Structure 1
Amino acid sequence: MLDLVTDQRPENDFARMDFERERKDPPEGFPKLPDIPGKRYVDPEFLRLEKEEMWDKAWLYAGHVDQLPNKGSWFLTRNTGSPVIVVRTLKDEIKAYYNTCQHRGAPLVKEESGEDRGFVCGYHGWSYTLDGKLTAVRDKRDFVDLDFSCRSLVPVRCELLGSLIFLNQDEDAQPLMEHIGPMAQQLEQFQLEKLRLVDSRSYDVDCNVKVLLDAFLEVYHLKSIHVDTVDRFLDHRAMIATLWPNGHSRMATPNRRDDWVDPGTKGMPEIPTVNDFPAKNNVSYQIYPNFVMPAAPTGIPILQFWPMGPKKSRVVSSWLAPDYDPENPHPLWPTRLSNWERILYEDLQFAPQIQESLESPGFKGMPLNYQERRIYHWHEELDRRIGLNRVPGDARVEQVLEPWVQKD
């Protein structure tokens, strides 16, 4: 059975679920996971390294192309840690720039979104094209040898995953599609380029961001937190996890009944190319570090978890769907969104109290089990991005899961 578990190719997925449901112990050869040190959630020095070496250099979801309906449309995002303008240029390209005038650093835009043919700084009137080029300055005669070509807006790496816009502040980052590796091929079936934006909401929570991320990387908590909701139809004991390079992963949890269909989605338009496995199971993809996507044929919620401080996080919950008409939405959408929010609140309800406990002398570290291996995989990747030799010894995670990472 070891070969079945380590060979995580899609054609084995149903058989792997059967194995997980019937096993009596973790698979042969699976390592004992060392405790995750508690310092990683509260230590200021570790959190500084985490921000500088991981968050500031990661591919992070910024928004959906529907937020840029016309040439000249733009929106402002701050979730990445810096204010960034994302814009559809007059050439119909999607680009991103820091919201920082190259004169004295004033913001170019002050609203959350808008539509313009260029950007004009409200402080001293410096003007830029939507391509970021400086075109005019007030009282040019008073500048000595001002080279406009050296004063363009500072760009931010911006790439698309279908209709999803991702940013990366690291100029040398690996291209997004290469970075997500084997996941890219699996995502093709969802036709992300055709999905419309249905809804987006934010929730601020008083806890370290990893408290929330951990909860969405496992289903071990279903029988405690989701007793009256998803635990009624999901079989957490048969969950399978696929670990990919660069910290990415996938989790798939079967329904308790093979013929179960969510009554809240009957009759809704479906993505026609979704294959049998995600159509009949709860499949959740995670793009490292903070993007979670439990995809389904009739609609896809996408979640991002943002660090807003050592003890404060933001969850952004959005929905994508095929054939969505904002002027005439399907009548099931209000109920579906309400049910989803109820489940989300169940996941968020204990987070502030967990944070309080993490800061107490009673928390030394986390002993994870086989079902929680995606959490350990996430932390291993964090240390690799910081640099194994830079992580303080008493906060470091031992690298033990590499043999269980699927390379293709």
Structure 2
Amino acid sequence: MELNALATAKVADTMEFERGRKAPPEDFPHLPDIPGGRYVDKDFLTLERERMWNRAWLFAGHTDQLPNPGSWFLTRNTGSPILIVRDLSGEVQAFYNTCQHRGAPLVTADAGESRGFVCGYHGWSYTLEGKLTAVRDKRDFVDLDFACRSLVPVRCERLGNLIFVNEDAEAQPLMDHLGPMAGELDQYALDSLRWVDSRSYDVGCNVKILLDAFLEVYHLKSIHQNTVDRFLDHRGMFVTLWPNGHSRMLTPNRRPDWRDPGTIGMPKIPSVTEVPANNNVSYHIYPNFVMPASDSGIPLLQFWPTSDTTCRVVSSWIAPDHDPENPSPLWETRINNWERILYEDLQFAPQIQESLESKGFRGMPLNYQERRIYHWHEELDRRIGLNQVPPEARVEQVLHDCVVRE
């Protein structure tokens, strides 16, 4: 059920149940161990990259990064150089940054504005819509069909002002793929929120090590003793598992009347309903997009593999009524506080990677609080193909009765 349709009393009852339970619910299935090889085995990680990452809907950027027709930016986070452009009609499109002559890049900067693209190697020219319009020394090309030499498009769709790309041309449409989550996210007015800030952090660990940490609150008392654990009650947290690997985590404040002092005086999103406005909700769009939404600004976290043993975390912010020319001074404090919490999660990651590569790591016994992680791995096997995952690396599909489909 959508969070904005849940009665406040029902949410409170669910949180109270979670606080008071002595064991997992009786009908919750046993979670088998996650095989350790899924984090370190090169063959499995290659399978993961080819069958999942290369076919997933992945966040590329925000429409504020494309203010005018002809604006463009380049993203490499997906593992491929993808050019995101606003064409002359105002539509957002995506293409591989690859000239159709000999593969040279069309742009080498991270962002810019132009009326078209000209390859710097041999001068082939393309429109903002990706159509080939001119080649140098055309007389020396025999029967060159311009219509067959357009830039190769990448699937590009939007969630409000958020731009997602997918290298799988046959992928399910983004909004269909999000399923029940899509309707719930309407309350955040994502088509009106402005781009505030974005920062990247390169970390020496497999991407799943950090992603796992943002799918549970079991670690708060160890890692965030002086920050998040002071105001969040992890014992009252409850989870919703959705199809296609997506999920939601709702964690109550320790005191019902507590409000983040860093948000006082900031503009609010008026359409956000009572439950997410007064609690801490975090959405996960599979595989790597985490959105701990609030009614005064939303951090957007992405976790990108850069190799089998390294990753990049990108932390961005969107907010209502933000003026980039005259930003509120409150943002500097808020982002710095957020970065402090983020560093707490990053601090041990390289050492965890080292430990996972030892013979001492054989697998992960997950608890009830960590069921979003198991849900993530079940979905990974489905995307790879259940009969394609090596038996020693496979996870058992046990959470199907726990997934909310409407």
Give the secondary structure class of the aligned counterpart of 1:138: coil
Q: What corresponds to 1:10 in structure 2? A: 6
TM-score when scaled to structure 2?
0.98
Deviations 1:189-220 (Å, cap 9, x if unpaired)? 00000000100000000000000110000000
Give the secondary structure class of the aligned counterpart of 2:123: coil
Out of 275, 279, 282, which is 1:281 matched to?
Answer: 279
Q: What corresponds to 2:27 in structure 1? A: 29
Q: Please report how far the alpha carbon of residue 319 of structure 1 lies from its aligned counterpart in structure 2 after TM superposition.
A: 0.4
Structure 1 Cα separation of the partners of residues 11 and 79 of structure 2: 38
Q: What corresponds to 1:230 in structure 2? A: 228
Give the secondary structure class of the aligned counterpart of 1:210: helix
Q: Please report how far the alpha carbon of residue 15 of structure 1 lies from its aligned counterpart in structure 2 after TM superposition.
A: 2.1
Contact 1:109 1:119 in 2 (8 A): yes
Deviations 1:77-136 (Å, cap 9, x if unpaired)? 000110000000011000000000000000000000000000000000000000000000
Structure 2 Cα separation of the partners of residues 381 and 170 of structure 1: 17
Contact 2:4 2:184 in 1 (8 A): no
Structure 1 Cα separation of the partners of residues 333 and 360 of structure 2: 41
Deviations 1:14-68 (Å, cap 9, x if unpaired)? 3211110111110011111100000000001100110010000000000000100
TM-score when scaled to structure 1?
0.98
Q: Please report how far the alpha carbon of residue 9 of structure 1 lies from its aligned counterpart in structure 2 after TM superposition.
A: 7.0
Pair 1:115-2:113 in alignment: yes
Q: What corresponds to 1:97 in structure 2? A: 95
CA RMSD of aligned residues (A): 1.2
Q: What corresponds to 1:145 in structure 2? A: 143
Q: What corresponds to 1:19 in structure 2? A: 17
Residues 201-212 of structure 1: pairs in structure 2 closer than 5 A: 201-212=199-210
Give the secondary structure class of the aligned counterpart of 2:191: helix
Pair 1:266-2:256 in alignment: no
Structure 2 Cα separation of the partners of residues 266 and 306 of structure 1: 32
User: Amino acid of the residue matched to residue 128 of structure 1?
Assistant: Y
Q: Please report how far the alpha carbon of residue 326 of structure 1 lies from its aligned counterpart in structure 2 after TM superposition.
A: 1.1
Structure 2 Cα separation of the partners of residues 134 and 203 of structure 1: 37
User: Amino acid of the residue matched to residue 56 of structure 1?
Assistant: N
Structure 1 Cα separation of the partners of residues 6 and 124 of structure 2: 54
User: Amino acid of the residue matched to residue 18 of structure 1?
Assistant: E
Residues 43-54 of structure 1: pairs in structure 2 closer than 5 A: 43-54=41-52
Give the secondary structure class of the aligned counterpart of 1:279: helix
Contact 1:8 1:242 in 2 (8 A): no
Structure 2 Cα separation of the partners of residues 144 and 326 of structure 1: 51
Pair 1:300-2:294 in alignment: no
Structure 1 Cα separation of the partners of residues 388 and 17 of structure 2: 39
Give the secondary structure class of the aligned counterpart of 2:112: strand
Out of 312, 326, 345, which is 1:347 matched to?
Answer: 345
Q: What corresponds to 2:164 in structure 1? A: 166
Deviates more, 1:9-18 or 1:260-269: 9-18
Structure 1 Cα separation of the partners of residues 219 and 340 of structure 2: 16
Shift of the 31–9 alpha-carbon distance from structure 1 to 2, 3 Å rule, reads farther
Structure 1 Cα separation of the partners of residues 363 and 345 of structure 2: 21
User: Amino acid of the residue matched to residue 34 of structure 1?
Assistant: P
Out of 51, 67, 70, which is 1:69 matched to?
Answer: 67
Contact 1:36 1:365 in 2 (8 A): yes
Give the secondary structure class of the aligned counterpart of 1:48: helix
Structure 1 Cα separation of the partners of residues 330 and 348 of structure 2: 29
Out of 349, 354, 379, which is 2:377 matched to?
Answer: 379
User: Amino acid of the residue matched to residue 169 of structure 2?
Assistant: E
Give the secondary structure class of the aligned counterpart of 2:360: coil
Give the secondary structure class of the aligned counterpart of 1:251: strand
Structure 1 Cα separation of the partners of residues 13 and 155 of structure 2: 40
Contact 1:8 1:406 in 2 (8 A): no
Shift of the 37–9 alpha-carbon distance from structure 1 to 2, 3 Å rule, reads farther
Contact 2:125 2:134 in 1 (8 A): yes
Deviates more, 1:18-27 or 1:92-101: 18-27
* Structure 2 unpaired stretches of 5+: none
Aligned length: 403
Pair 1:135-2:133 in alignment: yes
Deviations 1:237-289 (Å, cap 9, x if unpaired)? 00000000000000010000000011111111000000001101110000000
* Structure 1 unpaired stretches of 5+: none
Contact 1:40 1:47 in 2 (8 A): yes
